[in-house]
Every structure is written in C-alpha cells, then in structure tokens.
Amino acid sequence: MLAPPPQPQVLLAEAEEGDGFAVTVCPPPAGPGHDRCFPDYIAARTYARRLRWANGWALVDRVDPRTKRKAEEAEQRRVEAKRMGLRYGGLGAA
C-alpha cells in the first residue's frame, strides 16, 4: 500500500536575496504557484496565515524572533497613530 503524499507546509522566512520576507509552499501543490515575497513581516505573515486557513496546511515560521518583535512594534505604532488620526511617521492630520 502506498503512503499518502506529504501534506504541504507554508514556510515563512527572511528572503535570501536582499530585504524582505519569503513565503513558500513545500512541496509545491499542483496548480498555480503560491510562493511570494513581501517587503515587510506583517504582510508576509498575513499571507502565510491565509494560506494555512484556506488549505489546512501547517505554518512554519523561521523568522528571527527579534525581527518579528521589531515588525510587530512598528505595526503597533502605525495602528496607534491611525487611531489618533495622525499620519504614520508624521504629525500632520489625516
């Protein structure tokens, strides 16, 4: 009896070429490719989580915890500035 094919995993890691983060699916499923690169961790994590939720695949996050923390703190500052009616990175009104 043949073993079932391995279930794909969503891998989230820092991109090898330059800045950014890469989301890859290993082994790649049939059909259109799901691999993407993102400039920031929050966008990459969101995409990886949506792939996990939509397909039931495991999510493996290989990003350095310090990098994650910095990205999450920056996102929190952006959300707080938006809540206060400020443009992120500036003091002008929205």
Nearest by Cα to 48 from 30, 67, 35, 39:
35
The count of other CB atoms within 10 Å of the CB of residue 1 is 3
Residue 3 has pLDDT above 90, yes or no: no
Distance (Å, whole) CA 36 – CA 72: 20
SS3 content of the chain, % helix, strand, coil (to 5): 35, 20, 40
Q: What is the DSSP letter of 22?
A: E
DSSP conformation letters of 54-67: HH--EEEE-S-HHH
Residue that the structure tokens 């990205």 belong to: 71
Q: Specify the pTM.
A: 0.75
pLDDT tens sequence across 4-54: 777 889 999 998 877 889 999 998 888 788 999 999 899 999 999 999 999
Distance CA 38, CA 60 (A): 16
Structural domain spans, the chain: 1-63, 64-94
